[in-house]
């Protein structure tokens, strides 16, 4: 039973380019969460999605960042016109339910480096 799959594992972009990070949740999970982790810091919540719906995007910057979870295919976190400050590890997690049930299962993360 495959876990949460993220790709690419490593991505290098120049300032001004676009970064697309993909996440396939665990089988049977319909809730996806994106977190960002900077070196020596904790996981910072960005966005929570269910299929075709953004439920909570309170942690996502208003500009340049967007996320989607289409009916078919993986969830995608898109960062437009990247800047050096976007360099971080981006983790995706999934869960079967949401409110008071179960833990989050994390992927291995996508490490973005902006030159």
Site of interaction with another protein (CB under 8 A): 4, 33, 35, 40-45, 48, 55-56, 58-59, 91, 98-100, 103-109
Nearer Cβ to another protein, position 6 or 82?
6
Instruction: Decide if 101 contacts 49 (C-beta within 8 A).
Output: no
CA–CA separation, 90 and 56 (whole Å): 17
Q: Map residue 53 onto helix, strand or coil.
A: strand
CA distances from 5 to 13, 23, 83, 104, 112 (A): 21, 6, 25, 14, 16
Shortest reach from residue 20's CB to another protein, in Å: 20
Shortest reach from residue 40's CB to another protein, in Å: 8
Nearer Cβ to another protein, position 17 or 68?
68
Nearer Cβ to another protein, position 17 or 37?
37
């Amino acid at each position: 039973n495959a876990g949460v799959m993220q790709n690419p594992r490593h991505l290098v972009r120049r300032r001004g380019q676009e970064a697309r990070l993909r996440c396939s949740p665990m089988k049977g999970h319909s809730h996806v969460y994106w977190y960002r982790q900077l070196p020596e810091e904790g996981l910072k919540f960005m966005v929570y999605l269910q299929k075709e719906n953004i439920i909570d995007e309170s942690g996502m910057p208003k500009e340049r960042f967007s996320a989607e979870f289409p009916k078919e295919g993986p969830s995608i976190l898109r960062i437009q016109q990247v800047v050096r400050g976007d360099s971080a590890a981006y983790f995706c997690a999934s869960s079967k339910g949401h409110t008071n049930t179960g833990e989050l299962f994390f992927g291995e993360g996508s490490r973005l480096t902006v030159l």
